[in-house]
A = this chain, B = another copy of it.
Amino acid sequence: MMADEMKNLGFARLDISRGERTGLPETIYCPGKTTEQLIGILRAFQEKGLAVLGTRCSQDQANAVCVSQLPVKYDATAHTLLLEGRRPHPLPGAVAVCTGGTADLPVAEEAARTAEYFGAQVERFYDVGVAGLHRLLNSIDSIRRDQVVIAVAGMEGALGSVIAGLVKSPVIAVPTSVGYGASFHGLAPLLSMLNSCAEGLSVVNIDNGFGAAVQACRILNLLHHHHE
């Protein structure tokens, strides 16, 4: 029951068939991997004709991979590296990715790029933080039309609470380490989101745009299965 097609590269156990098994394709967490390891993993996917997304990929890693002539695209804001290839079926519905400020963009784009790689349609609502509430209220009708909301915010992290009180959809809140002093590297928005007075909010790790995207796409995937 638990057997699976797993390509062992010596330094890592790839999970090539994961796409079929869990509904969402494999991704590569780049930190700590050498150029050789990274290229080796990418080639393994390329041989299968599969696309794959690397996350938290540094500019240096991206540069090194580009030299290898692999068909990759690097997004310097999201820190994602996309190997072109066969992509999964599109997911039904759409994800709204919202941020409190412009400094939250890297985390938001990590979420957006990951969700797009998984086949989701993404709508971006950036710089709609609660300090200027009109910005959020101007966009709220569009946000309401999406099936899942990812709310990315640092500092006091109130964005998630305010949105969750205004929409019916599940809201996935991502605290960011944007801030200083008593932010304690994202602890403040993390606690804030966990203690939301609004309902319909669940939280992922600080700066974990990727994790929010996976959760959002697992939810969209449910719609997919119900459609078929």
Residue of B nearest to A222 (CB): B147
Contact with B along A202-221 (1 / 0, CB 8 A): 11111110111011001101
Interface residues on A, range: 35 or more
Assuming the contacts A162-B158, A227-B226, asked whether A127 and B12 have C-beta atoms less than 8 A apart, the reply is: yes
**For A33, A179, A222, which residue has the most chain B Cβ atoms within 10 angstroms?**
A222
B197 x A155 contact (CB < 8 A): yes
Residue A36 is within 8 A (CB to CB) of chain B in the complex: no
B207 x A180 contact (CB < 8 A): yes
B197 x A203 contact (CB < 8 A): no
Q: How far is the CA of A31 from the CA of B178 in the complex (A)?
A: 10
B197 x A190 contact (CB < 8 A): no
Residue A44 is within 8 A (CB to CB) of chain B in the complex: no
Q: Can you list the 7 inter-chain pairs with the closest CB atoms, starting with the nearest?
A: A181-B206, A158-B158, A202-B202, A2-B134, A188-B191, A131-B198, A131-B165
30 contacts between A and B (CB under 8 A): A4-B134, A13-B132, A13-B135, A32-B178, A92-B226, A100-B197, A130-B158, A130-B161, A130-B162, A130-B165, A131-B196, A133-B162, A155-B197, A156-B161, A156-B197, A157-B195, A158-B161, A169-B222, A170-B218, A180-B207, A182-B194, A183-B205, A184-B191, A188-B192, A188-B195, A199-B211, A199-B214, A200-B214, A202-B212, A203-B204
B168 x A182 contact (CB < 8 A): no
- Write the nearest CB–CB distance from A29 to chain B, whole angstroms: 8
Contact with B along A28-41 (1 / 0, CB 8 A): 00011100000000
Number of copies: 8
**For A13, A178, A182, which residue has the most chain B Cβ atoms within 10 angstroms?**
A182
Residue A103 is within 8 A (CB to CB) of chain B in the complex: yes
A161 x B219 contact (CB < 8 A): no
Residue of B nearest to A196 (CB): B156
With A155-B197, A181-B195 known, 10 other A-B pairs at CB within 8 A are: A11-B102, A133-B166, A156-B197, A170-B219, A172-B202, A184-B191, A191-B192, A192-B192, A195-B205, A200-B218
